[in-house]
């Protein structure tokens, strides 16, 4: 008996770093797993100053948590990676990562070498991804009803947000959504105290430079200036001389002529990333030109892409009218919305764009609704790019079943790592069922049995009734890419945590960037 205790103690000491890291990962996962599924609840985050944030968005929870343990920070990086690449599925990725670490630790504790477990996990991840791709169904055009269901499910079953996402999707079109350069989620903006709407264009979060009534502009050209709208500068010392003052007066006169030229070219909007001369502001106000100063670079880029404008430096104003026209953008309508204090630009001549304005009564409500809308937008875009699979944890259960079969054919100890992935893949459904108030052991076993009997990957649990359902018939689906990215990200962090044998504190002054 003493020999057994001694052996167990040696094992615990040998893998003390792994056990400690696994506990930290488990702690961080427990903060978000309660939000998974349609019956998931919210998490309250409280700052040192007493500020409160209530959300069930996994990425937000992990990003705002005070995380100090190095292994736990790896899990936070998983959420960031999932959010950056996909924009949805962060909670699933986190839950899977925690489950894989726990199952991997279980195999290591049994005596399986860490290297074999990690190799098996990586092989299992590859097989699971291949299986999901083979079961993916394509989106059948913009009218495919599954797109609305994806927006509805990812949007926390908020019909208003789902309607907005689908309306916005139809404005920009599937070709734009399929582009790798376009991020649909960035089309979502907030409007504190305002109402929700979908604007077929872009919104600029700027007020006109002069507080005068702004008329709606139709068929206006747009100048984007990556500079200040003012005469060419001179050294202050030069202005003290008669010759220098004369030169400045000539530059100022030339600048006014350039402004007249812009007015003659029917420029209706000038957006600059710096300030503007007082006379330039008055000139624009007198002629009905909307002048926006100190516009952020991102907004200038967005305006340029949407209207087809080519950003100019101040010296570009010296171009001939013909050359200058080629650099101007165009918009069919421009208006300033005083209610939300933003400039609306529509009917641009450049790349398609849309803006989803999320409103609400309070800043906290608006922020949470915007996070949900971004998730829904990302999910819809992912589905258009990659298709969709059964949701509710059903596809993970089916993939686990395939891994069990595949693991039986593997010779070597890598099979233990494959089994660890298979068990981890059952965790999402188990957690969804738990959050809905049902027995996870009973329900998961029922799902496994019916999927095996029917040879299907679409059987899951109805979280309202507890009965089994066909996800495709019930229209409970998830984008394929969201699932695949979540599994791959979880596998990466699990492999990284399992490989850590010792933890050593670095000396002061050392930077990982060195």
Secondary structure of 26-45 in HEC code, one letter for each residue: HHHHHCCHHHCCCCCCCEEE
Does residue 190 belong to any structural domain of this protein? no
Does residue 410 belong to any structural domain of this protein? yes
Residues 395 and 294 in one domain: no
Does residue 439 belong to any structural domain of this protein? yes
Residues 124 and 209 in one domain: no
DSSP code at position 86: T
Distance between CA 85 and CA 58 in Å, rounded? Answer: 15
In 3-state terms, what secondary structure has residue 460? strand
Q: Give pLDDT, residue 245.
A: 58
Does residue 235 belong to any structural domain of this protein? yes
Does residue 297 belong to any structural domain of this protein? yes
Q: Give pLDDT, residue 235.
A: 59
Domain of 54, CATH number, reads 1.10.560.10
Does residue 284 belong to any structural domain of this protein? yes
The pTM of the whole model exceeds 0.75: yes
Residues 228 and 307 in one domain: yes
Provide the residue range defining the domain that includes 210.
201-353
Alpha helices per DSSP H over 135-241? 145-154, 159-172, 174-177, 236-239
Residues 407 and 327 in one domain: no
Does residue 378 belong to any structural domain of this protein? no
Over its length of 514 residues, how does the chain's per-residue pLDDT go in tens digits?
344 344 444 445 567 888 888 898 888 888 888 888 888 888 888 888 888 888 877 878 888 888 888 888 888 877 777 777 777 778 888 999 999 999 999 999 889 999 999 999 999 999 999 999 999 999 988 889 999 999 998 888 889 999 999 999 999 998 889 888 888 998 998 887 668 899 999 999 888 876 656 678 888 999 999 999 988 765 555 555 666 557 667 788 888 888 899 989 999 999 999 999 888 988 988 888 899 999 999 999 999 999 999 999 988 888 888 889 999 999 999 988 888 888 999 999 999 999 999 987 777 788 888 888 998 999 999 999 999 999 999 999 999 999 999 998 998 899 999 999 999 999 999 999 999 999 999 999 999 999 999 999 999 999 999 999 999 999 999 999 999 999 999 999 999 999 888 777 777 765 555 5
Domain of 289, CATH number, reads 3.50.7.10
Number of domains into which the chain is organized: 2
Q: Give pLDDT, residue 504.
A: 72
Residues 404 and 301 in one domain: no
CA distances from 137 to 335, 384, 385, 395, 469 (A): 42, 10, 11, 12, 18
Q: Give me 166's structure tokens.
A: 């689908």
Q: Give pLDDT, residue 394.
A: 95
Q: Give pLDDT, residue 368.
A: 83
Does residue 168 belong to any structural domain of this protein? no
Q: Give pLDDT, residue 63.
A: 82
C-beta of residue 98 within 8 angstroms of C-beta of residue 350:
no
Residues 337 and 394 in one domain: no
């Amino acid at each position: 008996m003493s020999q057994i205790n001694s052996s167990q103690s040696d094992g615990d000491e040998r893998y003390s770093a792994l056990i400690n890291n696994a506990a930290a990962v488990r702690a961080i996962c427990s903060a978000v797993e309660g939000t998974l599924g349609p019956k998931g609840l919210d998490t309250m985050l409280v700052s040192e100053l007493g500020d409160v944030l209530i959300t069930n968005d996994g990425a937000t929870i992990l990003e705002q948590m005070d995380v100090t343990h190095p292994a736990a920070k790896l899990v936070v990086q998983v959420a960031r990676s999932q959010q950056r690449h996909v924009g949805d599925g962060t909670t699933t990725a986190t839950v899977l990562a925690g489950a894989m670490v726990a199952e991997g630790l279980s195999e290591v504790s049994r005596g399986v070498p860490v290297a074999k477990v990690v190799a098996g996990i990586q092989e299992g991840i590859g097989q699971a991804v291949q299986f999901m791709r083979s079961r993916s169904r394509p989106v059948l055009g913009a009218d495919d009803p599954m797109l609305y269901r994806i927006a509805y499910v990812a949007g926390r079953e908020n019909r208003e947000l789902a309607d907005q996402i689908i309306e916005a999707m139809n404005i920009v079109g599937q070709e734009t959504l399929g582009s790798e350069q376009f991020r649909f989620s960035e089309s979502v903006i907030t409007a504190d105290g305002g109402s929700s709407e979908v604007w077929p264009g872009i919104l600029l979060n700027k007020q006109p430079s002069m507080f005068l009534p702004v008329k709606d502009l139709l068929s206006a050209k747009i100048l984007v200036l990556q500079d200040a709208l003012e005469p060419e500068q001179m050294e202050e010392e030069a202005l003290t001389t008669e010759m220098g003052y004369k030169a400045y007066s000539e530059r100022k006169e030339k600048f006014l002529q350039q402004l007249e030229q812009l007015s003659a070219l029917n420029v209706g909007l000038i957006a600059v990333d710096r300030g503007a001369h007082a006379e330039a502001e008055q000139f624009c106000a007198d002629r009905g030109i909307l002048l926006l100063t100190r516009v952020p670079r991102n907004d200038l880029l967005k305006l340029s892409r949407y209207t087809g404008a080519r950003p100019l430096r101040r010296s570009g104003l010296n171009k001939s009218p013909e050359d200058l026209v080629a650099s101007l953008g165009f918009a069919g309508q421009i208006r300033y919305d005083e209610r939300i204090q933003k400039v609306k630009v529509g009917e641009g001549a450049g790349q398609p764009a849309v803006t989803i304005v999320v409103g609400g009564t309070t800043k906290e409500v608006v922020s949470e609704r915007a996070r949900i809308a971004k998730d829904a937008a990302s999910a819809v875009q992912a589905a258009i790019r990659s298709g969709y699979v059964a949701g509710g944890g059903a596809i993970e259960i089916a993939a686990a079943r395939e891994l069990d079969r595949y693991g039986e054919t593997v010779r070597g100890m890598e099979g233990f790592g494959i089994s660890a992935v298979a068990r981890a893949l059952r965790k999402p459904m188990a957690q969804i069922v738990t959050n809905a108030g049902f027995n996870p052991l009973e329900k998961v076993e029922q799902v496994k049995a019916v999927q095996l009997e029917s040879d299907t990957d679409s059987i899951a649990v109805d979280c309202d009734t507890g009965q089994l359902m066909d996800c495709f018939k019930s229209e409970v689906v998830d984008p394929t890419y969201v699932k695949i990215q979540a599994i791959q990200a979880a596998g990466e962090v699990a492999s990284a945590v399992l490989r850590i044998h010792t933890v050593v504190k670095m000396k002061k002054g050392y930077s990982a960037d060195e």
